[in-house]
Amino acid sequence: MSAIAAFVRSPALRRLGQVVTAATLVYLAAVPLLPQTNDATLFTYTLMLTTIGVAINWNLTGGFTGYVDFGHAVWFGIGAYVTAIFMSTEGNSLQIGWPPVLCILLGAVVSGVLAALIGSATMRLKGPYFSIAMLGTFVAMREIVRVAKPVTGGGVGLNLPLYLNRPLFYYVQLVLVAALLVFTWWLRRTRFGSALVAIREDEVGAEMRGINATRTKVAIFSFAGMSTGLFGGLWAFQITSVDPDTAFVELRTVEAVMGAMLGGIGTVIGPVIGATVLFWLNEVVWANFLDFHLIVQGVLLIVIVLYIPRGLVGLFDARGPSVITLLDKWLGTEPGDTYGDDRVPVRAGLGSAESGEWFEDEVESDPVLTGGGTEPGSDSERATV
């Protein structure tokens, strides 16, 4: 073990890690109470939490089961629209005016049910065909909402009653994101979670081992749809108006995919880190480069995909080229054995409750990024295009 590796594994640093993690949580919980915090800060944080939440949801199917959903934002839009339809009391709507909480929950349920229905059809498709079918679903849904004018207000959209309470929304979304994170972490430890990864690794093999692949993947797809629908409903509530072009935005899918990719696809904590970094990166790049910021984003995306396919989490993962091995090389503290000493126990310990295992998912064997177990470029892989 190198000196660096030894240092980062020392008990003192471990203690520091606990302190920093705890401090981050306390800070986030206390943000609305800080004197310099105003509604603008909270709104920014809330939008960030929305991005994180959607990225976590996308990762549930895109990362764990390997079904790359290119139309995930459709559930966001449906959640937003159902909330708006049942909540709006103004002229261009059905004027139902139900209580907000009920409307938002209803939005989530409708998203979940539709995700189950659409998913059971589209999830029969594999690889890029599934991605394209979902992209098509997304575009078609936006047009359907436009055409269904009597219910949705058509292209004009709907206005919601003005009810803005930033601290409340912030806490609701903070709790939601935290709950989602804990849920994902727990999920990875269940039999169901293992089944998801088994489908990603080898769907036919998984079925032969008695996993009902169809039911499993549609279930998680539906859950992800429901959860994203929930964020959509909350978003509609806060932005106070929806129309097809603001509720159904391709960029929301892109941000979710990029967040998960940047953080580490198929990991528990990856989407959170990726979406957070991306959100603030956007703010900074955008403030300083203006016209160039989208170009910078495009370059960034290519660099991430080509050079750090396992994401930021992968950088701190000792299995491949990582910050630690680079540091070792740079300082000349070449390790005899950088990693591997306790690798096996981690794999064996899938059921334990160590929080550190959030980063222990088998990123390197992710078929989405590495081509799975098949020889890259071999016919068996290529025939499935």
Partner 1 sequence: MSQLLQALINGIALGGMYTVLVLGFSIIWGVLGVINFAHGEFVMVGAYLAWLANEYAGIDPFIAAPAIFVVMTVVGFVLQRVLVNRVIDRPHLVSLLVMFGVSIILANGMKLIFTADFRRNDTALDGSWQLLDGVTVPVTKFFVLLCALAILVGLSAFLQRTRLGKSIRAAAQNREAAQIVGIDVKWVYAVTFAICIGITGVAGALISPILAVQPFQGPPLTLKAFAVTAMSGLGSIKGALGGAMLLGVVEAGLAVYVAGIGTNLAVVASFVVLVVALITRPQGLFGGLRPVDATAT
Partner 2 sequence: MRRHWRRTTLLAAVLALIVAACAEGDAPIENALETTGADVAGIDDPPLVVGGVGAVVPTGGPIMTGTIRIGAALSETGKFAVEGRDSRQGYDTWVEWVNNDYGGIDVDGERYAVEIVYYDDESDADTAANLTQKLIDEDGVDFLLGPYSSGIATGASAISEKNNVIMVGGNGTSDTMFERGFTNLFLVATIASDYTRSGIQAMATEGATTAVVAYEDTSFATAVADGAQRHLADAGVEVLAVERYPKDIQDVSAIMTKFRDLEPDIFVGGGHYNDAVMFVNSAKELGFEPDGMLITVGPSNPQLVDELGGDVDGVLGPTQWEATMGYEGPYFGTAADYSAYYEALWGAPPVYQAASASASGLALQIAIEAAGSTETDAVREALRGLEVDTFYGPISFDGRGVNVAKPMGTIQIQDGEIRVIAPDGAASTDLRYPQG
Restricting to residues 266-305, name those near partner 1 by CB under 8 A.
291-292, 294-295, 297-302, 305
Q: Which range of residues in 182-190, 355-363, 366-374, 375-383 is near partner 2 by CB under 8 A?
A: 355-363
Select 2 or 222, whichever has its Cβ closest to partner 2: 2
Tell me how far, at minimum, the Cβ of 44 lies from partner 2, in Å.
6
**Residue 44's binding partner out of partner 2, partner 1, none, with CB under 5 to 8 Å set by partner kind:** partner 2
CB 50 within 8 A of CB 235: yes
Q: Of 324 and 369, which has the nearer Cβ to partner 1?
A: 369
Out of 33, 35, 91, 307, the only residue in the binding site for partner 2 (CB under 8 A) is 91
**Spatial contact of 363 and 266, defined as CB atoms under 8 Å apart:** yes
Distances (CA, A) of 17 to 20, 25, 43, 64: 5, 12, 29, 27
In the range 279-298, which residues lie near partner 2 by CB under 8 A? Answer: 280, 283-284, 286-288, 290-291, 293-294
- Name the DSSP letter for residue 242: E
Surface-to-core class of residue 41, CB atoms within 10 Å of its CB (0-12 exposed, 13-18 middle, 19+ buried)? middle
The item of partner 2, partner 1, none sharing an interface with residue 168, based on CB under 5 to 8 Å by kind, is none
Question: Which tokens in the block code for residue 360?
Answer: 């222990």
- From CA 296, how far away is CA 281, in angstroms rounded? 10
Q: Which residue stretches of 188-291 are H helix?
A: 191-201, 203-208, 213-239, 244-247, 250-263, 270-289
126 binds partner 1 (CB under 8 A): yes
Residue with Cβ nearer partner 2 (100 or 367)? 100
String of contacts with partner 1 for each residue 179-208, x by CB under 8 A: ------------------------xx----
Pick the binder of partner 1 from 8, 31, 127, 246 (CB under 8 A). Answer: 127
Q: How far is the CB of 48 from partner 2 (least distance, A)?
A: 8
Q: What CA–CA distance (Å, rounded) separates 308 from 330? A: 19
Contacts of 167 (CB under 8 A, 6+ apart): 32, 42
Identify what 299 binds: partner 2, partner 1, none; CB under 5 to 8 Å per kind: partner 1
| Among positions 128, 161, 356, 373, the unique one binding partner 1 when judged by CB under 8 A | 128
Give the Cβ contact number of residue 334 at 10 Å.
10
Burial tier of 245 (Cβ tally within 10 Å: 0-12, 13-18, 19+): exposed
In this chain, which of 98, 171, 185, 316 binds partner 2, going by CB under 8 A?
316
According to the 3-state scheme, what is the secondary structure of 268-323?
CCHHHHHHHHHHHHHHHHHHHHHHHHHHHHHHHHHHHHHHCCCHHHHHCCCCCCCH
Mapped onto helix, strand or coil, the DSSP state of residue 60 is: helix
Q: Binding residue for partner 1 (CB under 8 A) from 144, 156, 175, 284?
A: 144
Q: Which of 127, 132, 72, 119 is nearest to 255 (CA)?
A: 72
Choice from 132, 178, 249, 346 touching partner 1 (CB under 8 A):
132
- Tell me which of 2, 131, 184, 222 binds partner 1, using CB under 8 A: 131
Residue 13 binds to partner 2 (criterion: CB under 8 A)? yes
Residues at the interface with partner 1 (CB under 8 A): 68, 121-122, 124-129, 131-133, 135-137, 139-140, 143-144, 146-147, 203-204, 250, 254, 257, 261, 291-292, 294-295, 297-302, 305-306, 309, 367-372, 376-379, 381-385
